[in-house]
C-alpha cells in the first residue's frame, strides 16, 4: 500500500507534505487531550503488532499480494487520534529505516493511511456502535480509501496506467479491502475473548492480552516472513508495470530486519505514549 519514491510529482508530494504534517501535529495535540494513562502499554503492543502484521503478504490474485494495513484496528483499540500517531510512527520507521515507501512519498503515505484511512475506518465503527458490521466495514473502507487515494495521487503525478490495468487494480484493491475487514473483525473478536470489554475498560489491555499480542508480533516478524507471499502488493504491482523494481532481500535478512523493526516500533510507540501522558497529568482522587 506504500507509494515508493520517484513516482509522485513535486507538486503532488509537496502538497501532501503540506497537508499531512500539520494534520499529524493537530492529531498529536488531540491525542494528548484525550489520552488515558492506562493505555500507555497498549500503544506499544498494538503498534508492534500492526508493524509485524504488515510484514506478512498473502496472495489475492495472479501475481499480486496484500497485507494487513491495520489503521482501522488501531482506531478501534486506541481511538482515532492516538491511532494516527501510532500509524505515523510505523510508517516513519518503515520509510526512514527500512526504505519502505520512501522519504519524498512519506507525506502522501501518512495522509492516505495514518489520517484518511484511520478516520474512514473509524466512522462505521462509531456509527454502528462497535457492532461486528461496523468493525468489518471499518477495516474494509479504511483500506479502500487509502488505496484509491494512492491511485489518484499516482495518476495526478502522470504515472501512465492503461484502462485494463486500472480496472484490475481497483478490483484487487476491493478484494484486499474485504480481506482487511475479515482479518480486523477476527482480531477484534480474539481481543474480546482474551480481554472481554478491554476497548471500553479504562485499564486497557491487561497481562494475558498483552503477552498474547507480543508473542503474535514476534512470531509474525520472526517466522512469518518465511511463509509470506513474495508477490508484490497492489501498489507495488502498479509501480512494477511503470518500470521500477522493488529491492530484493533474503528471507533471513527480512526476518532479522522484521524483528529489529518490531522492537524499534514498540519502543517508539511506548515513548510517544509517555510523551502524550506527560501532557495530561493524573487526576488525584478526592479525599472523603
pLDDT tens-digit readout, 120-136: 999 999 999 889 999 99
pLDDT, tens only, 5-63 = 888 999 999 999 999 999 999 999 999 888 777 677 888 889 989 998 888 878 776 67
> For every residue of the chain, which 3-state class applies, written as one string?
CCCCCCCCCHHHHHHHHHHHHHHHHHHHHHHHHHCCHHHHHHHHHHHHHHHHHHCCCEEEECCEEECCCCHHHHHHHHCHHHHHHHHHHHHHHHHHCCCCCCCCCHHHHHHHHHHHHHHHHHHHHHHCCCCHHHHHHHHHHHHHHHHHHHHHHHHHCCCCCCHHHHHHHHHHHHHHHHHHHHHHHHHHHHHHHHCCCCCCCCCCCCHHHHHHHHHHHHHHHHCHHHCCCCCCEHHHHHHHHCCCCCCCCCHHHHHHHHHHHHHHHHHHHHHHHHHHHHCCCCCCCCCC
Mean pLDDT for all residues in the chain: 82
CA distances from 215 to 221, 247, 256, 267 (A): 10, 29, 16, 16
pLDDT at 18: 96
Distance between CA atoms of residues 258 and 256, nearest Å: 5
Neighbours of 104 (CB within 10 A): 20
CB 107 within 8 A of CB 13: yes
Residue 81's pLDDT band (boundaries 50, 70, 90)? very high
Neighbours of 177 (CB within 10 A): 23
CA distances from 195 to 22, 54, 129, 192, 270 (A): 35, 23, 19, 5, 21
pLDDT at 157: 92
Task: Select 10-278's CATH number: 3.40.109.10, 3.10.20.30, 1.10.1760.20, 3.40.640.10.
Answer: 1.10.1760.20
Distance between CA atoms of residues 101 and 95, nearest Å: 5
What grid cell was written down for 191?
Answer: 481481543
Domains in the chain: boundaries:
10-278
Residue 220's pLDDT band (boundaries 50, 70, 90)? confident
Amino acid at each position: 500500500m506504500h507509494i515508493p519514491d520517484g513516482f509522485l510529482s513535486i507538486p503532488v508530494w509537496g502538497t501532501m507534505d503540506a497537508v499531512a504534517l500539520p494534520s499529524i501535529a493537530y492529531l498529536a495535540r488531540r491525542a494528548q487531550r484525550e489520552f488515558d494513562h492506562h493505555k500507555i502499554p497498549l500503544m506499544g503492543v498494538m503498534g508492534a503488532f500492526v508493524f509485524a502484521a504488515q510484514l506478512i503478504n498473502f496472495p489475492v490474485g495472479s501475481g499480486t499480494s496484500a497485507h494487513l494495513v491495520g489503521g482501522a484496528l488501531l482506531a478501534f483499540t486506541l481511538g482515532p487520534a492516538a491511532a494516527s500517531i501510532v500509524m505515523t510512527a510505523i510508517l516513519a520507521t518503515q520509510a526512514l529505516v527500512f526504505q519502505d515507501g520512501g522519504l519524498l512519498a512519506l507525506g502522501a503515505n501518512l495522509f492516505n493511511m495514518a489520517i484518511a484511512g484511520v478516520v474512514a475506518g473509524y466512522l462505521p465503527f462509531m456509527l454502528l456502535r462497535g457492532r461486528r458490521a461496523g468493525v468489518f466495514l471499518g477495516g474494509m473502507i479504511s483500506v479502500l480509501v487509502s488505496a484509491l487515494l494512492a491511485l489518484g495521487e499516482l495518476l495526478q503525478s502522470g504515472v501512465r496506467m492503461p484502462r485494463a490495468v486500472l480496472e484490475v487494480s481497483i478490483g484487487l484493491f476491493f478484494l484486499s479491502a474485504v480481506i482487511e475487514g475479515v482479518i480486523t473483525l477476527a482480531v477484534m473478536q480474539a481481543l474480546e475473548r482474551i480481554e472481554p470489554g478491554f476497548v471500553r475498560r479504562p485499564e486497557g489491555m491487561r497481562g494475558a492480552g498483552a503477552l498474547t499480542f507480543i508473542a503474535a508480533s514476534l512470531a509474525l516478524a520472526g517466522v512469518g516472513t518465511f511463509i509470506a507471499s513474495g508477490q508484490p502488493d497492489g501498489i507495488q504491482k502498479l509501480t512494477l508495470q511503470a518500470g521500477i523494481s522493488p529491492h530484493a532481500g533474503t528471507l533471513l535478512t527480512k526476518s532479522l530486519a522484521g524483528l529489529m523493526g518490531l522492537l524499534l516500533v514498540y519502543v517508539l510507540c511506548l515513548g510517544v505514549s509517555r510523551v502524550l501522558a506527560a501532557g495530561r497529568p493524573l487526576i488525584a482522587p478526592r479525599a472523603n
